[in-house]
């Protein structure tokens, strides 16, 4: 088999859709124009149902061929608050915002798959096309679920893919197990006693304690964690003081924790708290921890990962199928869907040597649109044949 001819013939239109989305990026829960454009295209393709406003700004389309089971395909829609540094003709026209993660391409690929599925209907049952808002840290998948997505559209399986710069162009990887990390956030407030910088013996310096705490937190992964279990603890921001000649009375540290297991939050909350309290005692200050459990890990089910690999293999050249999907320590909102339904989240190579995701120089590679759309369409057909 190969990428369906109907999808190959529509690549120019997918490119046009992608460029239009790229020019007018919208942030989480602000995707009003994007959602309207998606809904208009789904209606034009002949979807049996199109709904907007699901989870605030999400869009859902349904293509049916008789009664029976349904599967879902998902794409994310939101952009990032990053100023684009590239100079492509379709660069962002909105200051300080850009599609730096490829959600413009993900939408174009799912739209290409939707058009093909609506035209051919080579499956029995239903395909639910989920265009999700607010993937970038704003829990758009959770919002759609809480808004009744699973009750209104009771699909049994769910699939998605994400472009990955650094992987070979049109290479697809799908493995069972955890493929992206959970992410939690933390804040530590260190309270000391401020005073004149020339008289440190009269003060209790929270900045010194903060510096020591940053180093101490690195011991969690290095010395308290099984080396075979990947994890990351990162302090991302420190706030303290206003004057150059005064010791502040308080310092705040912010950061995040990433891990691949389902139940890692308790361990890291306890370890960060223990080290923060110990460091505070050493430097004569107090410590208060606020630990917030965030996204769960993205965990692929075995049978659905097998369907995804079979779909990739069926596309033939130029698609390359990687035997193993190496886990990435970034997080993904799709994890909420995978907690509710079995499914698989695949990686699609965007090409080696390309700017990384979330880089101001990033731009989605249009050369992989046909592979991605063909993969999504074939996944739906295979899943509904099982």
Instruction: Look at domain 182-295 and name its CATH class.
Output: alpha beta
Q: Are the C-beta atoms of 146 and 60 separated by less than 8 Å?
A: no
The predicted model gives 225-239 an average pLDDT of: 97
Residue 73 pLDDT more than 80? yes
For 305-339, how does the pLDDT look when each residue is reduced to its tens digit (9 = 90+)? Answer: 999 999 999 999 899 999 899 999 999 999 999 99
What was the pLDDT predicted at 65?
Answer: 97
What was the pLDDT predicted at 1?
Answer: 76
pTM for the structure as a whole = 0.95
| DSSP H or E run through 55 | none
Query: Under DSSP, is residue 57 helix (H, G, I), strand (E, B) or coil?
Result: coil
**Tokens encoding 311:** 């779909």
For 336-345, how does the pLDDT look when each residue is reduced to its tens digit (9 = 90+)? Answer: 999 999 999 9
What was the pLDDT predicted at 370?
Answer: 98
**Average pLDDT, rounded, for the chain:** 97
Share of the chain above pLDDT 70, in %: 100
The predicted model gives 367-372 an average pLDDT of: 98
Residue 235 pLDDT more than 80? yes
CB-neighbour burial class of residue 384 (10 A; exposed 0-12, middle 13-18, buried 19+) = buried
What was the pLDDT predicted at 244?
Answer: 96
For 174-209, how does the pLDDT look when each residue is reduced to its tens digit (9 = 90+)? Answer: 999 999 999 999 999 999 999 999 999 999 999 999
Q: What is the DSSP string of 290-329?
A: EEEEEEPPEEE-HHHHHHHHHHHHHT-TT-EEES----BS
The ranges assigned to domains in the chain are 5-180+298-383, 182-295
Residue 90 pLDDT more than 80? yes
Phi, psi angles (nearest 5°) of residue 114: -60, -45
What was the pLDDT predicted at 386?
Answer: 81
The predicted model gives 94-113 an average pLDDT of: 98
For 248-265, how does the pLDDT look when each residue is reduced to its tens digit (9 = 90+)? Answer: 999 999 999 999 999 999
Instruction: Look at domain 5-180+298-383 and name its CATH class.
Output: alpha beta
| DSSP H or E run through 91 | none
What was the pLDDT predicted at 323?
Answer: 87
What was the pLDDT predicted at 299?
Answer: 98
Residue 91 pLDDT more than 80? yes
Residue 94 pLDDT more than 80? yes
């Amino acid at each position: 088999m190969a990428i369906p001819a109907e999808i190959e013939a529509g690549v120019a239109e997918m490119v046009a859709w992608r460029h239009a989305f790229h020019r007018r990026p919208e942030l989480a829960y602000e995707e009003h124009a994007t959602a309207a454009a998606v809904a208009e295209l789904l209606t034009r393709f002949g979807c049996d149902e199109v709904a907007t406003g699901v989870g605030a700004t999400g869009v859902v389309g349904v293509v049916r061929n008789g009664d029976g089971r349904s599967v879902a395909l998902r794409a994310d829609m939101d952009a990032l608050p990053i100023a684009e540094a590239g100079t492509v003709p379709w660069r962002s026209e909105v200051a300080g915002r850009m599609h730096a993660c490829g959600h413009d391409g993900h939408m174009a690929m799912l739209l290409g798959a939707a058009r093909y599925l609506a035209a051919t209907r080579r499956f029995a049952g239903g395909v639910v096309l989920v265009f999700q808002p607010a993937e970038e840290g704003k829990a758009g998948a959770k919002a759609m679920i809480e808004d009744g997505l699973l009750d209104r559209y009771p699909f049994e399986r769910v699939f998605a893919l994400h472009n990955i710069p650094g992987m070979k162009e049109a290479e697809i990887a799908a493995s069972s197990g955890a493929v992206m990390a959970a992410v939690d956030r933390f804040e530590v407030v260190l309270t000391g006693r401020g005073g004149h910088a020339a008289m440190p013996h009269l003060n209790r310096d929270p900045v010194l304690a903060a510096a020591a705490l940053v180093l101490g937190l690195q011991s969690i992964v290095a010395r308290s964690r099984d080396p075979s279990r990947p994890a990351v603890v990162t302090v991302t921001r420190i706030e303290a003081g206003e004057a150059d000649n005064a010791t502040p009375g308080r310092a705040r540290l912010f950061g995040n924790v990433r891990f691949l297991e389902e139940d890692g939050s308790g361990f890291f909350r306890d370890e960060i708290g223990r080290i923060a309290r110990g460091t505070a005692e050493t430097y004569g200050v107090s410590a208060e921890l606020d630990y917030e459990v965030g996204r769960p890990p993205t965990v692929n089910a075995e049978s659905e990962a097998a369907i995804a690999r079979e779909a990739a293999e069926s596309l033939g050249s130029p698609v390359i199928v990687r035997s193993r999907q190496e886990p990435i320590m970034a997080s993904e909102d799709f994890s909420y869907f995978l907690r509710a339904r079995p499914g698989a989240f695949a990686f699609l190579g965007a090409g080696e040597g390309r700017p990384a995701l979330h880089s101001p120089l990033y731009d989605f590679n249009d050369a992989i649109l046909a592979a991605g759309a063909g993969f999504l369409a074939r996944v739906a057909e295979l899943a509904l044949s099982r």
